[in-house]
Amino acid sequence: MTTLFEHGILRSLTVKNRIVMAPMCMYSSDDEGMVKDFHLIHYGARAIGGVGLILLESTAVEKRGRISANDLGIWTDDHIGPLKKLVDLIHKFGGKVGVQLGHAGRKCGVDSEEAICPSKIAFSEKYQIPTEMSKEDIKETVKAFSQAARRANMAGFDTIEIHGAHGYLINQFLSPLTNHREDEYGGSIENRSNFLKEVIRGIRLNWPKEKPVILRISAEEYEKGGNKCEDLGKIINLVKKYGIDLINVSSGGAVMTKINTYPGYQLKFAEKIKDYTGLPVIAGGLVTTAEMAEKALQNERADYIYLGRELLRNPNWPFYAAKALGYEIKIAEQYERAYQ
């Protein structure tokens, strides 16, 4: 048996293989953040295609937390029903599904909304100058994450991923490049971790203990003075006891900077985070071939492999991966003739 097609177990969740669909913004909702037909077809196709774990795009925990005016939302109970319809569809076709709970912070691109941030620093001249968050703002935002977890459970999601990467709000607190606060939420690594710690605890209040929680991080900020793998390892070790089961390792996004990308360029970060924290990791970064994915798993550089653009190009990638590795998987009977 190939490692890529081994079952994965996280608390009570069993995933049929180690293939994860990375969260990718589709900007295909409306101003109310509702699931559309596009989302049903888009995610449903990847479930039919054999992906083990599908992670939804960043889903805003409050309206001012959107990246764009077309982001999915989970900030009201009205979102529960449409999200449940999507979850049920993915389950029907054999996939497991998680929701990525996100907040854009200073990277909110919705003109009608007030952007918030730990410090009053704009992302670029194209973005508004954010409002520095008060203690009350922090409390309200933690509550928004907590209530989003309650809604996610009611919608039937198998797991939650906390979006702590790519320069969005949690990452803004974690990074010394964007967090210049002088209170208990800024300064030392311990202080910069406090917002994330409170978010995790808030989510766990409304999320069943038998269900896993994933944390997505930017392990490298590619800028002098920014966080590196060692820093993220320390941060994760400070907060993991509050209920983190798996780390989804990405990089970049905190500030505008050039990133040298190449196939598998983030695998080295995942390997380091796994070593620093002792937690299983999802790794990726322009992984396109079954051989590359299998090698990373067999070398214990990762426990799961995420694919992004490759799954946009080919929703049936798992079928081809199994064939390339000489492994037989169950293919949707409607498509069997295409793989004989």
Judge whether residue 340 has pLDDT over 80.
no
- The CATH code of domain 3-339 reads 3.20.20.70
pLDDT at 116: 98
Judge whether residue 41 has pLDDT over 80.
yes
Judge whether residue 1 has pLDDT over 80.
no
Helix pair 194-205, 135-155: axis angle to 10 deg: 40
Q: What is the mean pLDDT of residues 318-340?
A: 91
pLDDT at 336: 87
pLDDT in tens, 105-125: 999 999 999 999 999 999 998
- CA pair distance 317, 283, nearest whole angstrom: 17
Give the model's confidence band at 223: pLDDT under 50 very low, under 70 low, under 90 confident, else very high: very high
pLDDT in tens, 271-292: 999 999 999 999 999 999 999 9
pLDDT in tens, 292-303: 999 999 999 999
Kind plus residue range of the DSSP H or E element containing 96: strand 96-102
Kind plus residue range of the DSSP H or E element containing 139: helix 135-155
Query: How does strand 13-15 pair with strand 8-10?
Result: antiparallel
pLDDT at 338: 86
| Across 108-112, 303-307, 319-323, 336-340, least confident range | 336-340
pTM: 0.97
Sign of CA dihedral 266, 251, 195, 304: negative
pLDDT in tens, 132-166: 999 999 999 999 999 999 999 999 999 999 999 99
pLDDT in tens, 168-189: 999 999 999 999 999 999 999 9
Give the model's confidence band at 330: pLDDT under 50 very low, under 70 low, under 90 confident, else very high: confident
Q: What are phi and psi of 20, to 5 degrees?
A: -120, 135
DSSP for 32-85, please give it: T----HHHHHHHHHHHHTT-SEEEEEEEESSGGG-SSTT-EE-SSGGGHHHHHH
